[in-house]
Amino acid sequence: MIPELGHFALILALVLAIIQTVVPFAGAVRRVPAWMNVAAPAAFGQALFQIVAFGALTYAFIVKDFSVLYVATNSNAELPLMYRISAVWGAHEGSLLLWSLILSFWTLAVAAFSRSLPAAFTARVIAVMGFISVGFLLFLLVTFDPFERLLPAAPRGQDLNPLLQDIGLIVHPPMLYMGYVGMSVPFAFALAALFEGRLDPAWTRWTRPWTTVAWVFLTVGITLGSWWAYYELGWGGWWFWDPVENASFMPWLAATALIHSLAVTEKRGAFRAWTVLLAVFSFSLSLLGTFLVRSGVLVSVHAFATDPARGVFILAFLAIVIGGALSLYAWRASQVSGGGEFELFSRETLLLTNNVLLVAAMGTILLGTLYPLISESLGWGKLSVGAPYFSMVFIPLMAPVVLLAALGPLVRWKRDHLGALVKRMRAALGVSIVLGTALMLMASAPVSMGAAIALAGALWVLSGVLHSLWDQLRNRRSKWQALLRLPRSYVGMTLAHLGIGVFVVGVAAVVVYGEERDVRLAPGETVTLAGYRFELLGVDAHPGPNYQAERGKVRVSRNGKPVVVLAPEKRNYPVQGQPMTEAAIDPGLTRDLYVSLGERLGDGAWSVRVYVKPFVRWIWLGALMMALGGVLAASDRRYRAEARSHARAAAGGTLAGAGSMSR
């Protein structure tokens, strides 16, 4: 009964979404306030029914209702409760239901926080988001129904993929979807402006916080995915340029370009058309990414041959949304463009270069990800693009971006002199190179050009940040007070850029100095790697709730002193008959020690993989710093003050032409 209720709720949500799309939009075009005011209640109703539908599916999982096909395929009688709940988004249908639910939440949030925006604009925004909701709900109901029944019911269920029975995979998809879906907000804002045929002067100030928050979620989601892959997959890798990973990274690159473009548009009014285009790109890539991953096309292009309805629907939806948005842009862009002028050497030019590089990098990743699909569907043969392609293209394109991160905040808007800048930065440049080489030599690491360059780059970012801070505080009497009074958007930017430096250090250290060895070890035997001695003490059996495990004991020591005892496991999940490796990691700020079991080889020996990974945690630390920087920037006083003053003015019945000064 409950699944049918959920299905019905989904239908009601679809009806409300259609109302949410059509009525407010018509109201904005015809200027009928009553119709425009339908937007918020419709969004609220849609969210309510989506919650009911999602709740129904979750309930089916919790009570182990194996007469629902999706539950039977992704759960099991012995699966612990925590994973029964997270299994809701463990496979395609449930994931898209979650996507749709999150979209309804974002729509509600936009409706709630847009009271200070013009009604016609908000109505258009909510209508656009409603249109996307309609697409997803239709898709779910017509071809991807999570509530489909399985009769007779499966007795025990097929079990959730063991790789997904993990905390990282509980949190990673929701975070990622918050980011993907969040990109629909700037998208809707952009389309609303294009529909209106004008870019309100305050448009940027409205759009920027939403974009930054969505970007933060995307950053956190990708970081979680990378960290999860590292500790769960047992191969010690943190990024594989896998199509699924690329699908999430491309919108992130476009969104990063969007954030920077918004900065220029807000401050100087320039780049308006580019900002709108980037907003369209970011969400288009989010949609593309979602469908690439969740439609089965990455597994095989011919997945659609078995179920053409899905393929046709997805392609049609993508064509309508992306094609429609780009057509609208082509038609209306001239009405939103125009803006401030700037010289050849100015912060605007540097930010433009930054964005071009980000978008170019995104384009090359898109090529590498889609090339196999194109090749296979055109009959050129089955090929895959090796991981080295991505590094070969990405690193040269992103290296200048890292350098620009330090430079940008130091260059003046509109016009600056290259000579003066060079004079200012000479010291910083010299210090970066010298200090970088010195640090490397001090760490008694073998000299590597690549590592030296990376380290110098990170130090360059640091010196740029410090220089910029000094510029801010130089003329204040009380430096400490001035430091505490720095605007949040500035602190956020600084933190995020520092995060880039930290990230670069982590990647360089792991790639250049990481060590790995696959060995055969019998109990009592040892292997030495990077100064650490790993001794296998033995392997015994350890049962778990829904698995059987063999647990090894590895004693690690350095220079004779014991460091840690690691317990890697090899688990066997009987329902799916699938073995899984549970690696043992000793985390550290300057290095990770990583051991995973291979398989039993005769005579009590095991194949074991051992890693020493220097500074690997800095990769995720840097990414988290970027995310935190984004949070700070989005909570800048001017966004909150603006909303407060408008609310007050509106309540007082007058429209104050208020506004705090933008930086």
Partner 1 sequence: MTPRRRQRMVFAGIVLAGVAVAAVLSFRAIGDNMLFYYSPTKLRSGEVPLGETVRIGGLVVDGSVTRANGDLTVRFDLTDTANTVAVRYIGILPDLFREGQGIVALGRLGPNGVFTAEEVLAKHDEKYMPPEVADSLKTASAARSAATGPTAALAPESRR
Q: How far is the CB of 1 from partner 1 (least distance, A)?
A: 28
Which range in 58-66, 425-433, 438-446, 518-526 contacts partner 1 by CB under 8 A? 518-526
**Please, which residues have CB within 8 angstroms of residue 5's CB and are 6 or more apart in sequence?**
52, 56
The runs of H, that is alpha helices, within 233-346 are 243-268, 272-294, 303-306, 308-318, 324-336
Phi and psi torsions of 274, nearest 5°: -65, -40
Nearer Cβ to partner 1 (195/281): 281
Q: Quick one: which of 143, 335, 349, 635 contacts partner 1 (CB under 8 A)?
A: 349
Q: Does 448 bind partner 1 (CB under 8 A)?
A: no
Q: Does 581 bind partner 1 (CB under 8 A)?
A: yes
Which range in 21-29, 348-356, 481-489, 615-623 contacts partner 1 by CB under 8 A? 348-356
Q: Does 526 bind partner 1 (CB under 8 A)?
A: no
Cα angle value 288/199/181 (rounded, 5°): 25
Q: Does 518 bind partner 1 (CB under 8 A)?
A: yes
User: Could you give the count of Cα atoms lying within 13 Å of 342 in the half-sphere of its Cβ?
Assistant: 26
Could you write out the DSSP letters of every residue in 565-625?
EE--EEEEETTTTEEEEE-EEE--SSEEEEEEEEEE-STT-EEEEEEEEETTHHHHHHHHH
Q: How far is the CB of 301 from partner 1 (least distance, A)?
A: 9
Q: How far is the CB of 409 from partner 1 (least distance, A)?
A: 19
Q: Does 577 bind partner 1 (CB under 8 A)?
A: yes
Nearer Cβ to partner 1 (353/548): 353
Nearer Cβ to partner 1 (4/518): 518
Nearer Cβ to partner 1 (41/386): 386
Alpha carbon distance 171, 168 (integer Å): 6
Per-residue contact track with partner 1, 231 to 260, x per CB under 8 A?
A: ---x--------------------------
Binding to partner 1 in span 287-306, by CB under 8 A: 296, 299-300, 302-303
Q: Are 516 and 611 in contact (CB under 8 A)?
A: yes
**Please, which residues have CB within 8 angstroms of residue 49's CB and are 6 or more apart in sequence?**
9, 10, 12, 13, 16
Nearer Cβ to partner 1 (393/473): 393
Nearer Cβ to partner 1 (202/519): 519
- Please return the burial class of 269, using the count of CB atoms within 10 Å of its CB with bins 0-12, 13-18 and 19+: middle
Q: Does 392 bind partner 1 (CB under 8 A)?
A: yes
Binding to partner 1 in span 18-77, by CB under 8 A: none
Q: How far is the CB of 445 from partner 1 (least distance, A)?
A: 26
The 10 Å CB-count burial string (b at 16+, else e) for 581-611 is bbbbbbeeeebbbbbbbbeeeeeebbebbbb
Q: Are 365 and 245 in contact (CB under 8 A)?
A: no
Q: Does 210 bind partner 1 (CB under 8 A)?
A: no
Q: Does 647 bind partner 1 (CB under 8 A)?
A: no
Q: Does 548 bind partner 1 (CB under 8 A)?
A: no
Q: Does 341 bind partner 1 (CB under 8 A)?
A: yes
Look at residues 306, 121, 262 and name the one whose alpha carbon lies nearest to residue 630. 262
Strand partners, 535: 526, 555
Q: DSSP label at 521?
A: E
Q: How far is the CB of 520 from partner 1 (least distance, A)?
A: 6
Q: How far is the CB of 360 from partner 1 (least distance, A)?
A: 4
Q: Does 607 bind partner 1 (CB under 8 A)?
A: yes
Q: Quick one: which of 334, 384, 528, 590 contacts partner 1 (CB under 8 A)?
A: 384
Nearer Cβ to partner 1 (382/561): 382
Q: Does 285 bind partner 1 (CB under 8 A)?
A: no
Which range in 189-197, 459-467, 587-595, 599-607 contacts partner 1 by CB under 8 A? 599-607
Q: Does 148 bind partner 1 (CB under 8 A)?
A: no
Q: How far is the CB of 45 from partner 1 (least distance, A)?
A: 36
The 10 Å CB-count burial string (b at 16+, else e) for 226-251 is bbbbbbbbbbbebbebebebbbbbbb
Which range in 184-192, 549-557, 598-606, 634-642 contacts partner 1 by CB under 8 A? 598-606
Query: Count residues contacting partner 1 (CB under 8 A)?
Result: 50
Q: How far is the CB of 133 from partner 1 (least distance, A)?
A: 28
Q: Quick one: which of 152, 155, 379, 388 contacts partner 1 (CB under 8 A)?
A: 388
Which range in 424-432, 457-465, 512-520, 649-657 contacts partner 1 by CB under 8 A? 512-520
Look at residues 583, 401, 587 and name the one whose alpha carbon lies nearest to residue 501. 401
Alpha carbon distance 607, 598 (integer Å): 5
- Please return the burial class of 523, using the count of CB atoms within 10 Å of its CB with bins 0-12, 13-18 and 19+: middle
Residue 10, both tokens: 């989904």
Sheet holding 606-614, edge to edge: 515-521, 606-614, 591-600, 584-586
The 10 Å CB-count burial string (b at 16+, else e) for 98-133 is bbbbbbbbbbbbbbeebebbbbbbbbbbbbbbbbbb
Q: Are 508 and 621 in contact (CB under 8 A)?
A: no
Strand partners, 539: 552
Q: Are 536 and 606 in contact (CB under 8 A)?
A: yes
Nearer Cβ to partner 1 (302/637): 302
Per-residue contact track with partner 1, 350 to 379, x per CB under 8 A?
A: --xx--xx-xxx-xx--xx--x--------
Q: Quick one: which of 602, 652, 653, 657 contacts partner 1 (CB under 8 A)?
A: 602
Q: How far is the CB of 356 from partner 1 (least distance, A)?
A: 4
Q: Are 56 and 65 in contact (CB under 8 A)?
A: no
Which range in 120-128, 307-315, 381-389, 459-467 contacts partner 1 by CB under 8 A? 381-389
Q: Does 381 bind partner 1 (CB under 8 A)?
A: yes
Residue 461, both tokens: 């970012």
Find tokens 């395609």 and name the residue.
92
Q: Are 542 and 531 in contact (CB under 8 A)?
A: no
Q: Does 280 bind partner 1 (CB under 8 A)?
A: no
Q: Does 490 bind partner 1 (CB under 8 A)?
A: no
Q: Does 578 bind partner 1 (CB under 8 A)?
A: yes
Q: Does 599 bind partner 1 (CB under 8 A)?
A: yes
Contact footprint for partner 1 (CB under 8 A):
234, 296, 299-300, 302-303, 341-342, 344, 349, 352-353, 356-357, 359-361, 363-364, 367-368, 371, 381-389, 392-393, 396-397, 518-520, 576-581, 598-599, 601-602, 607, 609
